[in-house]
Amino acid sequence: MVATGATSFFPVTSSLPDSGGNKLGSGSTNLGGLKSKHTSSGGLQVKANAHAPPKINGTKVSTSVENFKHGDVLPSSQSSRTFINQLPDWSMLLAAITTIFLAAEKQWMMLDWKPRRSDMLIDPFGIGKIVQDGLVFSENFPIRSYEIGADRTASIDTIMNHLQETALNHVKIVGLLGDGFGSTPEMCKKNLIWVVARMQVVVDRYPTWGDVVHVETWVSASGKNGMRRDWLLRDYNTGEILTRASSVWVMMNKHTRKLSKIPEEVREEIGSYFVESAPILEEDDRKLTKLDDNTADYIRSGLSPRWSDLDVNQHVNNVKYIGWILESAPQSILESHELCAMTLEYRRECGKDSVLKSLTAVSDANVGNPAQNGHIECKHMLQLEDGAEIVRGRTKWRPKPVNNFDIVNLVPAGSN
């Protein structure tokens, strides 16, 4: 409709006499702004000249009519001109605008305007970001189907992997990631790597499949030669706190496999990122006791790392140790309870050729029907076959939510 209006600004009449009595069929004629000339085919071509209005902002503007010298004869067609055909030639501009509007309308109609659930509007898959004056790093993670267990909640391994991923991305995004696994450039020059010495985790609630978790992490000094890293894991949609974790890290020479002090060059490199704050968890300073074949209630032996269990520093990932510790936990507890707190002390690293043994002692003697006994505490030990300690630990378990028991009952009963 707009295009039609644009082309109707300049009507062409079938015959128009000139001032000299000549017909349009002979010669070239000026029609007060309409210039006509013959073509080889005898047709008439019409060209429109734009005319400005007589006045613009109070200033008189001369027109083609005023430009005629005294004594010139004004073409008779001038008297028949109307306001419409005095307008400038806007046809090409209007045609372009029409084309743009038609293209925009087509794109608009192609959009999918179906209503979406609030959880579908989340974009949690990008790299995280630095917040709170550049000292805290945050990142979002969706809980995927392969990260949940039989009770439809995320496993402790999933939670720990999210914490570790956030820590590494924190180092990366601030520009301190060298060639090593979380090592800074100065650490790489001195063949140093970070190793975890202590880990404490409290899980208030496990996320379920489809949830999105928001993880925040920051670092602080820990003594003279250590670094503390804390995490806070929340539900992305509600802000509910799901997990709190605190850890202590020390440096080790990746060639000699011995612990090292933090060099001054490294301290200057990372010191500006330290936060002066108390640990997010009150430290459980109870001594972790040693277990052996006589004091353990459950033993699982013959555990060995697979190639996929090694990280880029060529030692077993610390998250794998948690899975080995739980290998000796009684099946009755795993089915009716969920892990709600954990304290681990890492004493030695494990290599690709190591063979390990997992030991567990249950502090509550009434394990026949643990679903009725409330919270249960267990002591753990992970050691090499020759008795060398790898990890000491303590776990606390709470009864699973009532709506999970029907799912748990589908698991065949059994015990280690």
378 is catalytic: no
Question: Using an 8 Å Cβ cutoff, are 67 and 51 in contact?
Answer: no
**Three-point CA angle 407, 411, 414, nearest 5°:** 140
Catalytic residue, from 313, 373, 375, 416: name it: 313
Catalytic residue, from 170, 315, 337, 380: name it: 315
Look up residue 313 and give its two tokens: 């520093």
Question: Using an 8 Å Cβ cutoff, are 339 and 397 in contact?
Answer: yes
CA distance 375 to 380: 16
Question: By C-alpha distance, which of 341, 406, 343, 395 is closest to 371?
Answer: 406
Question: By C-alpha distance, which of 247, 222, 249, 251 is closest to 232?
Answer: 247
CA distance 102 to 108: 10
CA distance 96 to 92: 6
CA distance 321 to 204: 22
Catalytic residue, from 140, 170, 337, 350: name it: 350
CA distance 202 to 163: 13
CA distance 133 to 117: 33
Q: 3-class DSSP state for residue 188?
A: helix
> b or e along 184-212 (b: 16 or more beta carbons within 10 Å of the residue's beta carbon)?
bebbeeeebbbbbbbbbbbbeebbeeebb
CA distance 167 to 161: 10
350 is catalytic: yes
- Strand partners for 38: 44
Residues classed as catalytic: 313, 315, 350
